[in-house]
């Protein structure tokens, strides 16, 4: 049985290097209920997987992105299977 942990795709402007990725990862991991964070600097995208039964509000994601010095350009919940 596959777990359907909520996943979110967050587009981030200015995300271009591993150091940037580390900074944003660190801020997002501080949010309650975050299970996994994957950063794709090439696409300027962050995929956030939440613990089962937890959700992420757009305002929470935006605040974490802003604290790391970037601006959020998009926020959407994705409906794919969790990657193992």
49-76 residue pLDDT tens: 999 989 999 999 999 999 999 999 999 9
Mean per-residue pLDDT, 36-40:
96
With left for phi above 0 and alpha for psi between -120 and 50, is residue 78 left, alpha or beta? beta
Mean pLDDT of the chain: 89
pLDDT confidence of residue 24? 95
Helix (H) / strand (E) element for 28: namely helix 18-29
The tokens of 1 are what? 């049985």
Contacts of 53 (CB under 8 A, 6+ apart): none
For 2-82, list the strands marked E by DSSP. 7-13, 34-40, 45-50, 71-78
Would the pLDDT of 20 be above 90? Answer: no
């Amino acid at each position: 049985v596959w777990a359907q942990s909520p996943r979110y795709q967050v587009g981030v402007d200015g995300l271009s290097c591993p150091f940037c990725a580390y900074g944003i990862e660190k801020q997002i991991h501080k949010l309650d209920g975050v299970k996994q964070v994957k950063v794709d600097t090439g696409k300027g995208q962050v995929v956030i997987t939440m613990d089962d039964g937890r959700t992420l509000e757009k305002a929470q994601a935006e605040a974490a992105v802003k604290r790391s010095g970037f601006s959020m350009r998009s926020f959407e919940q994705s409906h794919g299977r969790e990657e193992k």
